[in-house]
Structure 1
């Protein structure tokens, strides 16, 4: 399973939900404008092999939890704004091949010594990361090809032992000292040794290039500039394919050393292997190596051609590397051409199926892994020449390929027409089936549900002035909600199902059955229902103060002070407590959210919308009580329990998680998910950073800081990723009651009679002030701003007047 979103100018943060794609093999979101932290939920990607998040603006700490990704091969996080420390836990990744974290800011962090145990590592690149400390022992990594620790604040000596597989060593721009060890003379495949801009002293070891000869197919660059090197051990006569740079060392002032001046200039030496560079062509295969483990490509051209043609099941002569050049990163970009086999006597071109096969291998990432060449990306696969457009012979005879295209197009048209006709028939059948089902449900509802008033369609129409748009106060997935006045002048909320609603007949019966036997001050009461003339309607007590989300919105016409928010939280929790422990049988709500918490005239919280609710588990045949119900994931994004999302097992703690999200909304006024930001992550980061009060909703006036701190701690504990670490709903209610007891007595008494605070100042807590106000809720009505919220949303919110 692949998710490839690189190079799309995406913004916002990485959603937590990506972490629950347990079958995801490759995630590429590089080269975008993504910000925010790496979600800890990424640790659940149990099949991930490639995690490419480079070239974004991702910030925060690399989650140590990524050490759970036992299948991870490539971790590319370079060119971001990451900070904190390098997690030692990454050394637990048994399959890791490439760690590339260049150009981040791990200020003061050291390179964990445990990275030396990454026995399969091929590339470690930590350039320009503000690292300090010494270079760890990497002598136990047998296939390390590439080591770049340049532009940091590393101190101490150079490595005393490395395997001779290494191609590139870049330790420049640090504070390394001591002499240059003799191990570099044993590295027979070395292409580049960059030690410039350090504090190395002693002599230049001439044996570094002793294994190099001019007949070698590759070159070696040794850059020792700007150190304290004062002498040479051996003759200063490197072969032509060795580039030696010594400028800025005391040795350059020694006129007694023969040939010294030619190595003390900026480009001293015999660098005769400049990489080829051309502009990008649009008429061939564009291919890029994202993290190659070498500095020069020439020695590996033949092995690369063999690697690609082997994956494509072609002969080596069928591939031509038209051009290649290095890009910033470094990354290697190239343009490839592929030719038909020379022994094809029947055609000088590929047939259509062969072109599709080759393109399919490129686009489906079926290339085998290779530590030397690293991960790749396909930039373009452009068909040219005889493969582009319609091909005509000299006699204007249509080619076989065109006939094939015409035949395929005809078949596609026939299939499309057949599908359209089938769809029309299916829709007509479904419409008739819904009519019959509704008649059947109507009779079942009237038989099975006692004590619930049945209304006629005429009564509903009269109550809403024939469902006049002026009576509409909300809308949800089920349908529209109207404010209605019954014959006895009682005001009700009427939820009317729409044709093809997102919910439906099952939810209709569920809500009637549940609400007919659920009675609690913190649950919305069902007045009755209407099932007539192919209509489905539910009638509830009217909530004049709308939804909780309405009050937390930036467009709200009123504000809620802290103690009122605390009481709303407690009322909501008590409603859920009743569902979980006192209802017979108990009920899991499954869709707790701020738009499903309604407020009456006294701002008492009432939980609404039971269309997705499920009965809690009952005793099985052996007398055991399961702790969950297994179900298809349903609910609202941002409120979903991560474990439920992953396992499809809903427990009482899943409702607690959703309620915790509501608590965070009460504290901050934020939406659960907004502009790529996740409320749990934002609050958790602020809490850990000691800046919690900076994101508290400033509209709720004064509050005792210790009460807010306990409320925040409770909310975050409810939102813990692991269910067993969340409090029970009984514990939530108990803690909210304890927090209310901590409130100053004047505030607690005042909140009993006054629902909102604003206006003139009253006693101050934590440097913030608040004051009371009064209102007449029946005078001010407005349409709910929530279009996706509760189906019972009344949308009636009072205007607040200062005293």
Structure 2
């Protein structure tokens, strides 16, 4: 008996040594990396970064899976030892300007790396060809360094690449495309972002680079040395939203099919040598910003199709040979803000007409041949006509005085308080607290904003940023913006100060989390600001003591221990297998009978979830139905974590939302959603199939909804074209789902985050309300409201709830009214600093056909030949839903009746099931978006969030 006990003790000891040897392989290489770096975090003490919880190091099963060390003043070089961390999935070293040297080719050994982010460092030298050996890479951001040489053609092998940003380096040579066995960037059909600006790229833009298979949203090639013509194949990429080809040496005609790019918001063709006719941009219904200045187009009059660009806010057309008079209707474009037509040959009398845009702020027509000006009351005060004949005799008129537009001096004002007097290096925050802010510059690469004196747009940006920080539970008290400047590249620069909460300084963990949110584009600015990047200043005010030096075990000693341990364990490992198997069986039985046995109520999530009928899955079951959570099963990522498509043994397709370890969305939202969805069942609510709370995992298992979110369809991302009949059906379905929650659930449930991204469309485009992580039960009896912390999504949030913190069913009604307005306009609730409710009200005229709303309607509806029967009543219902106070809003049951009546008026049976699938509406959903991904809400979410939202 004594011998058996001794053998058992030896077995336990050897198994421990075996586990230690598996850990040591990463410890060895991480400590070797550390030897080449300076200013590593003070927490980097001890011999095991996983057990000792080194800042910025994340481990899974004692293997290093993530290194996020952005903006902590690291310096030195990254050695080839990085390539030995075989389980590494995330590497972010951004904003460490002291990191120099070339990028080691050993980086190509990281077969599981999905994100490589090195923004704003000091790296140089060529990009290694081994970058093409990273099969899982989806996010590659190397911008704002000093990389030289050519773009490696091997990048074309990265079939999962979504984001490619190599801008602001010193890269040269041509853009590589495939040639036989040699790969090229034309193979990146899943990429959404090509950011190549501010390099030294040369040669022609290869026609092969673009095709109808590509799904690009941003093509940014500005400020290079590209020559030749713009390839006509560019017109095949109909997903494009931003195109910058300016500041190159392009020549010839602009392709006639460029107006196929109907989703373009910002188009920059300026400062080239284009010499054909002005391109006809008819059909670009959502174009906001157009700059074709400083080219050699064939002299022509201002073409009539300009006035068809009804979304245009900024037009830059200086020095392109325009001649003749400026048409009166040109100034009636409703959102037109800035017009620059200087240095042309325009003549005649300038007349804005009686119905010019009330948004006009700047009109610069200096250095033309304008002879007269028909003055009308209220004409834009910033009118510049210097250098025209009219100013020969009218030199004292305000429009003949020399005027140059200066950059704004805007800065975020105090939040109803008196700024504090602070000590050296401290700054008073908007909340008038002295602290040491994290600072840097936000750079927007293609803004549609021209009016830098409009404080509203910057307030919107500040609000959206603060909302995002709160959503991800970052230690931020407030943010301030200042000194908006348009630089020589037509970028918009803004200084950014981020102030800590709870302390006057940030610690390293807080800084790296905030920096990561900006480096990997988790934060999404309002649409008008366009693509951006952030360059951080050094932060020298970390909380905590000075860096402690540590002694690490020698590499040779660690390797010796590891090898010796492995040899000894080989003698006893077989004996351990049986014990491990028995233990696994026991653990699985416990999980099956009591899935929440390990639930910790002390983590802020309350008691164990109380469920009614939801199925409990083990980790192994979900692992099997997703092929070990393979990349092929991954359909997206969001604030909560990854989403996988799976197939249960019975053939049912499911969507599995898997929280990342340490998710800040946490147990409370997980508990809320499974408790609520396990007891509510309605055809217009997404169904919960089950959950997993096993092996340290939190997963929610839903029915799989194939056509994504309503937002995706309205924005054109899915390729589904929604006609008026289908929009009415979707409205009714979503309204019935909310009516069920409010009136038939026991107790009633307030959703609290109704928005177009939380309304899903199944294969027949039936609406299903989803995402109950923020929902609240109303309680028993006559309770009419719940007093609770404000959470939700800006733009959809009930203002009465926001002010009083009293959540009611009418809060959902308000949000639903915003969704109804989205359904007819396809606009964001807040767009270009303008609120959708105000835009609709300002456009309305109840005495005219369709309430005179054609100018704000979704172009798909306004250009449709179908009769929009009931539109006026639909708008009336929506506006009643968004009344300021809840007592003036209808109940959801009243909304349901109204929509049913509208449908009957239009000859549609509201209770008829649709017999057509989404394929009847111009294509099924495409891409990797998935409906279960949260975005832009006050709570929930773990970095990195869904990149597609960008």
TM-score bracket, normalised by the shorter chain, equals: 0.3 to 0.5
Give TM-score scaled by structure 1 length: 0.42
Q: Which has the larger radius of gyration?
A: 1
